[in-house]
Amino acid sequence: MTDSKLKQRLVRHSPSRGVGSPDVWGIYEPDTGSIQYICADPVTRMAALIDVAWNFDPKNYRFSTGSMDQVLDLVRAEGLTVQWVLDTHPHADHVMASAHLAERTGAPNAIGEKVPEIAAIWAEIYNLPGVFEPKRDFAHLFAEGETFRIGDLEARVMLSPGHTLGSVTYVCGDAAFVHDTLMQPDVGTSRADFPGGNTAQLWDSIQAILALPPDTRLFVGHDYGTDSRDEPMWEATVARHKAENPHVKDGTRREDWIKRRDDRDATLPLPDRILAALQVNLRGGRLPRAEDDGRVYLKLPVNRF
């Protein structure tokens, strides 16, 4: 079996710590280094699916459902009922499974309320006016500070702009799903150079996350390993980030981090899936309508980036 297939099977359970604390499963998606999550109330067995991927092969422009199938198999194995299908932002490096999961589970799909602003930016980039309608394609758009329930657990929404202007963090008990803000403590932080991104805003978002209680479990959106660590990791506490994260540990100056982040971002290429992924993600994970030949087509801007 290849290393990729081994990692595809990688699932870790972060158990509830007691009353008010959710069970969390992280499911690694090796092609993009993405982490998909199940957040569940251990009492009622109600669950939210967070940032699940619809697999996309950029070499052959083909889609497959292996990752979402794996997540739903785990839901069934654990006796869970899906109450929410959540995404933290319109992803640039993978295609969201949102619409498919909503159809397969009957649960509403949701994302942050600023996604229409992101859609407006990308509608101009693609020259597709009026095509993206997040209010149509998501059942709910969460506002900053809004609360909702996963079973008997209360969850709340933090607006966390910077990576995108509309990214949100979901906080449920002692678990926070912090997407593309922080990386693992031995890596640092995420990029902020996509259209609508902002380095200073990302710093402020990270500081708000690090102001959560020290024992809060932070679940990041991606991990690619390091020179000294091949195994992907995705969970660490606020306290550990503040003590060890080389980008934002205690004592880091805001202006130093902004320069470091901007200098690093200037060297990064576009993710290989971004121009395909955003056309689908800004439709809630739906493909464009088939054309008169029965086939679906995506539009790619040339010489734009």
Q: Count CB atoms within 10 A of the CB of residue 75.
A: 20
Please check whether residue 154 is in contact with residue 172, taking contact to mean a CB–CB distance below 8 angstroms.
yes
What is d(CA 259, CA 82) in angstroms, rounded to the nearest whole number? Answer: 42
The pLDDT of residue 48 is: 99
CA distances from 264 to 149, 161, 185, 188, 230 (A): 38, 19, 17, 11, 22
Domains and CATH numbers, the chain: 3-268 (3.60.15.10)
The pLDDT of residue 8 is: 54
The pLDDT of residue 7 is: 53
User: Mean pLDDT across the chain, nearest whole number?
Assistant: 95
Give 40's strand partners.
23, 47
pTM over 0.85: yes
Residues in the chain: 305
Side by side, the strands of the sheet bearing 95-96 are 62-64, 53-57, 95-96
Query: Which residues of the chain fall below pLDDT 70?
Result: 1-8
DSSP state of 134: H
